[in-house]
Structure 1
Amino acid sequence: MKDLIKDSAPTEAPQGQAAEPSGGQARALTTPAQFVAAGLADPVDAAALGQVAAEFKLRMSPEMARAVAAPGDGVARQFVPEVAELTIRPEELADPIGDDAHAPVPGLTHRYPDRVILHATKTCEVYCRFCFRREVVGEEGALPEAEMAAALDYVAATPAVREVILTGGDPLTLSPRRLASVMARLGAIPHLDVIRFHTRVPVVAPEKVTPDLLAAMESDKAVWLVVHTNHAQELTEAAQAALRRLVAAGIPLLSQTVLLRGINDDPDTLEALFRALIRAKVKPYYLHHCDLAKGTGHFRTTIARGQAIMTALRARLSGMALPAYVLDIPGGYGKVPIGPDYLLRAADGLWQVRDPKGDLHRYADPSAPLG
């Protein structure tokens, strides 16, 4: 596999076009034939995978191809197309988290009063097979200037908005020049406190975390970055070096992980990931139950399974290494924690509290505030 991937970084696409590798060394895997040639997909499935590619974009970065230890492992399954993606279950949705239902202007989602999501681009360095925006990513490049201006005008005219979340696509696929322009315009909005990035780039394309990119991310606002990663095997030496560069630049790091059947839906795998993140100075933030995106049923486990995993992890890890297990309610109603319940009512009305070992302890809660 490694011999078929040449090193380098994809470049940002012109506005309105999907990104392609630059000339020279970069070669992401973007077609079924390339996945077959790399030994990651079965030649028998090539025709069916062509149907998958017609529905959903394919892209696996050179860094992630190098991270694969064996076909079908915890890295490969995240990016290699599967015939199972052609099975669409009745409950699956084109817009599972309600981006469109809460879009006051194109390119912006305003679901919560104090924060908005700015879809700066629809381009990614990789196209995850379980992505909740898988039907729209890859269709175009950066948000057109007229739409970007309208989105920023909306934020400037809405004082309740204190945080802008840059996502996409992946905002760190933007050129440093374009990203610096967006950051400067956000920095000029007085009521903003926080600019938050959600990105796969430091892990899947760590070579893009350059001094120019870090300079473009600078702001007088508080800048936070949430790294999307699902398996410790993704945290290659290059990825860890990219995270160190972000830490050295003074950017606080959080992580977001998707619970994926057959990839990380067991305590051992998630423990390894969360410990690796903490060592890299990344605080595990969210463990997402897999969204109801079309063709992703083979990745979803049950909520009960996720709760059991979280119970096991609480007995193994400090709170610093534990993310919140959350469900994004279909239809755009927001995220809610769905972790295990540690409080039960006893027959006499007192609380029973379950400890990390599973034992119950009585707790007397005051019937009214004291004082």
Structure 2
Amino acid sequence: MIPKATFPHATDAEWRDWRWQQRHALTSAEALGRVVPLTDAERRGLALAEGRSRIAVTPYYASLMDPDHPSCPVRMQVIPAPGEATLAFGDLEDPIGEEPHRPARAIVHKYRDRALFLAVDRCAVYCRHCTRRRITFGEDGAFDRAAVDEGIAYVRAHPEVRDVIVSGGDPLVLSDDRLEAILAGLRAIPHVQVLRVATRAPVTCPMRITDDLAAMLRRFAPLFLVTHFNHPKECTPEAREACERLVDHGVPVENQTVLLRGVNSSARILGDLFERLLTFRVRPYYLHQGDLAAGTSHLRTPLEAGVEILERLRGRTSGLAIPHLAVDLPGGGGKVTLQPTYLLGEGEQGGRGHWLRNHRGERYFYPEPPGRDCTCPYEEVYYGGADGALDGARADGRAAPEGET
């Protein structure tokens, strides 16, 4: 068993302790080499990363690495490849344009009604595809209590913000008390309706999801936990237990997968992953096209790869198991979603309508109803005036891009 071979003196109680897992994270080629026989390419990638980016793998997540196959999806997500040191066409330090919308150290406010709260710049495991690597891999500095207080004050001063995503870094590297203080500060703001916590802990350190933590998160409902499974290999009994503990305590869990070349870039792998997540009572929410983060081009897929995967999944698995394929546009343009095209065009067959195809390529005619007026007469009565709810949906007053933070 890899864990005992690597940590022969670890007791069962220590192994199940999330603090022990974080304290004993593997952070060097020497430590990783005791778990798996490193290839020359992996050693070169680790050497090139030294002094340039952070490396850390919890013993639990390291135990999922296949020692016999360098193509193991866990190894590829945590051991730097030499390609990280090479900038490719289109690579950006700030790939989704957060910095121009960062009015406070802990805040990214790209959309009028949503704000991202950066609670911490550290993670228990540093994923090599990280989109915020300028913060989590670099020397951005600690997100201290002053930064947290400033961030909460910013949200309090902006009544248009109804949804706050607490992220980082991974906020679950914080103690329960520190995380609770952040959530309590945000929940005390009357106009904040929804909280989200973005974390990879159920995947990389599932022992972090304790009964105490789950109960604490439930107190701030409506609160959603958004996690990040990328491969079925990560769907362990421990991960299932973590997800089910959250759901049993009343905390809904959703998943955002990143499409990674050579890791999960096949319909078979992703279909398996999404179906397993549903058995964990976790909803597949987004399949993310890789962001243009500097040093990640070797892990990014062509756009058509993701569309083709969705095409293969549609009609072959439950719609619940098919997430939105999202592209976060470079430079702060926001998220847009892509999907296969099923609309073939207008036509007539005894009347006006549209031709569509199904997942097997068969054509079907959908007749249009008479008339095109789709107004709802009671809308102005119910809402008390004309619709202006979506006007100026960006924080800067410009028209909002499709999608969400």
Structures share fold, TM-score greater than 0.5:
yes
Matches within 5 A, 1:74-89: 74-89=73-88
Structure-2 residue corresponding to 1:297: 297
Q: Which residue of 2 is the match for residue 46 of structure 1?
A: 43
Report the CA distance between 1:112 and its aligned residue.
1.4
Q: Displaced runs of 4+ in structure 1, greater than 6 A? A: none
Instruction: Give, as a single letter, the amino acid of the residue that structure 1 aligns with 2:109.
Output: H
1:358 and 2:361 equivalent? yes
SS at match of 1:263: coil
Is residue 37 of structure 1 aligned with residue 34 of structure 2? yes
Hey, what's the Cα distance between the residues in 2 that align with 1:162 and 1:359? 44
Alignment check: 8 A CA contact 1:326 1:339 kept: no
TM-score, length of structure 1 as denominator length: 0.91
Q: 2 CA distance for matches of 1:43 and 1:298?
A: 17
The aligned residue for residue 373 of structure 2 is 369
SS in 1 for 2:224: strand
2:344 is equivalent to residue 340 of structure 1: no
C-alpha distance in structure 2 between counterparts of 1:288 and 1:74, whole Å: 17
Q: How does 1:187-202 map to 2 (within 5 A)?
A: 187-202=187-202
Determine the C-alpha separation between the residues in 2 that align with 1:93 and 1:360.
42
Q: Distance in 2 between matches of 1:309 and 1:191?
A: 39
User: SS at the partner of 1:165?
Assistant: strand
Residue correspondence of structure 1 range 89-108 to structure 2 within 5 A:
89-108=88-107
Cα distance in structure 2, aligned partners of 1:275 and 1:104: 40
TM-score, L = length of structure 2: 0.83
Give the 3-state SS of the residue equivalent to 1:67 in structure 2.
Answer: coil
Q: Structure 2: how far apart are the matches of 1:221 and 1:8?
A: 27
Does structure 2 conserve the Cα–Cα contact (< 8 Å) formed by 1:177 and 1:216? Answer: no
Please state how far the C-alpha of 1:43 moved relative to its aligned partner.
4.8
How far apart, CA to CA, are the structure 2 residues paired with 1:269 and 1:318?
Answer: 15
Quote the Cα distance in structure 2 between the aligned partners of 1:83 and 1:356.
40
Q: Measure, in 2, the Cα distance between the counterparts of 1:226 and 1:280.
A: 14
Deviations 1:65-85 (A, max 9, x none): 111234321222111111121
User: Within 5 A, what are the aligned runs for 1:1-371?
Assistant: 1-2=2-3, 3-5=5-7, 7=15, 9=17, 11=19, 21-22=22-23, 27-43=24-40, 46-69=43-66, 70-138=69-137, 139=139, 143-346=143-346, 350-366=353-369, 368-369=372-373
8 Å Cα contact 2:46/2:79 also seen in 1: no
Q: Which amino acid aligns with 1:285?
A: Y
SS at match of 2:256: strand
**Match of 2:275, SS?**
helix
Note the alpha carbon deviations across 1:182-238, whole angstroms, 9 max, x for none. Answer: 111111111111110111001110111113322332334401011111001101111
Matched position secondary structure for 1:55: coil
1:244 to partner: Cα distance: 1.3
Q: Distance in 1 between matches of 2:207 and 2:42?
A: 32
Q: Is the 8 A contact 2:42 2:80 kept in 1?
A: no
8 Å contact from structure 1 (residues 64, 204) kept in 2: yes
Report which stretch shifted further, 117-126 or 220-229: 220-229
Secondary structure of the residue aligned to 2:287 is strand
Structure 2 Cα separation of the partners of residues 45 and 244 of structure 1? 35
Give the corresponding residue for 1:16: none
Amino acid at match of 2:358: D
Residue 40 and residue 111 in structure 1: after superposition, are their counterparts in 2 closer, same or farther (change >3 A)? farther
Q: What SS does the corresponding residue of 1:192 show, helix, strand or coil?
A: coil
Instruction: Provide closer, same or farther for how the CA distance between residues 131 and 104 of structure 1 changes in structure 2, counting only shifts above 3 A.
Output: same
Report deviation, 1:155: 0.9
SS at match of 1:77: helix
Letter in 2 for 1:123: R
